[in-house]
Structure 1
Amino acid sequence: MRLVVPCRFILLGLLVASAASAKDREFRVRNVILPNGPDQRARPIYVAGEVATVLRFETDVDPRRTKLEGWEGRFEPPGVAGRVVVLVPLYDLTSEDRIPLVVTMVDGTQWPFTVTADNASVDHQVNLLRDRDHDRYMRASLAEARVMERIYREKFEKLEQEDTIDHALASLLAKGAIKMTPFRERKSWLLKDEGEGTEIQVFVYTSRSRDKAAVVLSVRNGNPEPWSLLEARLRTSKEERRPFAMRTSGAFLHEGTRGRVAFVIDGHAFDAAGGPERLVLEIFRQDGLKEAIVELDPSLLR
């Protein structure tokens, strides 16, 4: 059982394009009905790093009076041409980001939007419709309803799959409620990135009955950019994936804040044809960079 120093400290060639963080999200074409009269409700636009999102209106857009607040350093210069507005983030946003966008038509009509992110989907194109022609309006509304129904169904199915004891234990560990679990600490490490000021404390636990292992990362973000978890992988030495339960104390960490990421691994995950084998837990942060590797030996459960 050992902890390998985070790969970003020693390897410069492992940086993955931030667009990779969108690979598990659905790219969709969405229809949004705009009211005929004045409306100041800001509708959400869901984007992803290095992915173009197109807003398509029914009339021409005024480029001089169309503004994305604070886009410098976070987006490519917003593009406006004819009836189209194009947004390209330089990196992934979080669901907590709320960037105001005001689109002004050539007739002076203004439409407010909020540019943000969603873990399930990315807007590849958003068609903004004002024409209340019955057939077109109903088709757009029906298509949007079908998309939302499928998204909610998938979320519900995911929640059902994660309704397990291991996920419940991971939730308690992520909240710091160690005493409410059967786990006891075996080892811990403290890692510091002096350049970014980020501090990661890693704890390895086993259950009292020795039938489960757990890993908890306590992360203090010292970087101005928010820290979040992109994904985690548990694999064998033969690159075979193994299941695990994971919970976080929050979606992302602002500079100076601390949060936890907890993993619970059932003892059967160590099983193999030739006997129990070592597992490797890989943790990737929001920009695709491998943050840390924790190697778990089956002797943990003996």
Structure 2
Amino acid sequence: MRPGQFARTILLGVLLTAATTKASDRCDRPQQRSISLSEHPSNGTHSVYVKGQVITTLRFEQPVDPSKTKLIGWEGRLEPLTVVGNKVILEPIRDLNRDEGLPLVVTLTDGTEVPLLVRPPWPKKDNDWAPIHDQQIDVFKNRDSYASMHASLMDALAQNNALTEENERYRKEENSIDHAYATLLANGQAKKTPFRFVASARPKDPDMEMVVEVYSGQGKAAAVIYMTNTGYADTWEFADAYLTRDMTRHTKQSFALRMTRSAIAPGQSGAIAVVADKRAFEKNGQFVDLALQIFRSDGNQQVLVRMDRTLIRQ
């Protein structure tokens, strides 16, 4: 195949979509955490992070009084509040706007009132232990109870494991040649890498001008997404990226990622670069195609790029 034909073939394989796929369609796991109530007023009101068409359950140690449990401003945003025994069930009809916060007061049968604030999962900051969105929250009134202490211990262990994994990942990245290549690509220095430019495409998005480039390498492949926020109000924020065979968590592959900025304000530009080793493309001794998905912080997919197996040069 002539080089020109090869480039056109890869270009057709670059699948670019505006933000249509929900994060719930990717590799999500149920988000569960616990809250221990405090009698100190300065600790403020706990937030509950909900997502459109995803049920969030609040579970209390005591039964809930449904007649005295109220959610203010739920009309048109959530289904009617449901109370079952010691559980309060929230079901948003749609995603809440970024600046929305709905007051929720849960009253237990002993008269205890628990104030909460129902909010959208925004923003998600680096090293923020709060989940992207809640699916179950265990609320403990008695901090000294066995259940409360056990939940706190499990949360602490999970957080410690996550930080340990993160530190190990950072340590490996410091010595990773693929991350070094991704850094150069994100900063527009492709000529300093061993990659060859193959093709580019411009997806259509009303609020984001994008250019996607794919590169071929010796035993590696790469993609760079250049973005300019053309919207007038919203700051774009990066949430996650996945490289899979079939867009499910069961086929997630390792890769190196670098970006010039994780948040792009209106008028600003940024770049995301991904480098994948040939091992990510291998399945049962053969090379297969992969899909690169970039998600923004509102849970929607920003771009989908087909990483063709022919990008790997032998």
- Where on the TM-score scale, by shorter chain, does this alignment land: which range? 0.5 to 0.7
Structure 1 residues 123, 100: CA separation in 2 closer, same or farther (over 3 Å shift)? Answer: same
Give the corresponding residue for 1:139. Answer: 147
**1:20-35 equivalence runs, <5 A:** 20-21=25-26, 23-28=27-32, 30-35=33-38
Structure 1, residues 172-202: CA drift from partner, whole Å, max 9, x if none? Answer: 24752637963556245241416x2432212
Give the corresponding residue for 2:200. Answer: 189
Structure 1 residues 193, 116: CA separation in 2 closer, same or farther (over 3 Å shift)? Answer: same
Give the corresponding residue for 1:12. Answer: none
Unmatched tracts of structure 1, length 5 or more: 10-14
- Measure, in 1, the Cα distance between the counterparts of 2:134 and 2:149: 16
Question: Which of 148, 153, 156 is 1:148 aligned to?
Answer: 156
- Measure, in 2, the Cα distance between the counterparts of 1:169 and 1:267: 17
- Measure, in 1, the Cα distance between the counterparts of 2:281 and 2:135: 41
- Measure, in 1, the Cα distance between the counterparts of 2:177 and 2:214: 15
- 1:263 deviation in Å? 1.0
Give the corresponding residue for 1:86. Answer: 89
Are residues 1:124 and 2:135 paired? yes
- Measure, in 1, the Cα distance between the counterparts of 2:118 and 2:50: 10
Local SS of the residue matching 1:102: strand
CA contact (8 A) 1:283 1:290 kept: yes
Give the corresponding residue for 1:3. Answer: 11
Local SS of the residue matching 2:222: strand
Give the corresponding residue for 1:297. Answer: 310
Are residues 1:263 and 2:274 paired? yes
Matched letter for residue 35 of structure 2 = V
CA contact (8 A) 2:104 2:118 kept: no
- Measure, in 2, the Cα distance between the counterparts of 1:17 and 1:161: 27
CA contact (8 A) 1:98 1:114 kept: no
- 1:214 deviation in Å? 2.0
Question: Which of 13, 19, 23 is 2:24 aligned to?
Answer: 19
Structure 1, residues 149-181: CA drift from partner, whole Å, max 9, x if none? Answer: 124303422552462414532662475263796
Identity level (%): 19
Question: Which of 33, 36, 39 is 1:36 aligned to?
Answer: 39
- Measure, in 2, the Cα distance between the counterparts of 1:259 and 1:72: 38
Structure 1 residues 128, 142: CA separation in 2 closer, same or farther (over 3 Å shift)? Answer: same
CA contact (8 A) 1:78 1:86 kept: no
Aligned pair count reads 280
**1:242-253 equivalence runs, <5 A:** 243-249=254-260
- Measure, in 1, the Cα distance between the counterparts of 2:283 and 2:138: 51
Local SS of the residue matching 1:51: coil
Structure 1 residues 84, 259: CA separation in 2 closer, same or farther (over 3 Å shift)? Answer: farther
Unmatched tracts of structure 2, length 5 or more: 1-6, 125-129
Local SS of the residue matching 2:213: strand
Local SS of the residue matching 1:150: helix
Structure 1, residues 209-263: CA drift from partner, whole Å, max 9, x if none? Answer: x454321111335567757565433549xxx876422344555656655432211
Give the corresponding residue for 2:300. Answer: 287
The alignment's TM-score, normalised by the length of structure 1, stands at: 0.66
Give the corresponding residue for 1:204. Answer: 214
- Measure, in 2, the Cα distance between the counterparts of 1:175 and 1:252: 15
Question: Which of 22, 37, 53 is 1:50 aligned to?
Answer: 53
Structure 1 residues 182, 292: CA separation in 2 closer, same or farther (over 3 Å shift)? Answer: closer
Matched letter for residue 102 of structure 1 = P
The alignment's TM-score, normalised by the length of structure 2, stands at: 0.64
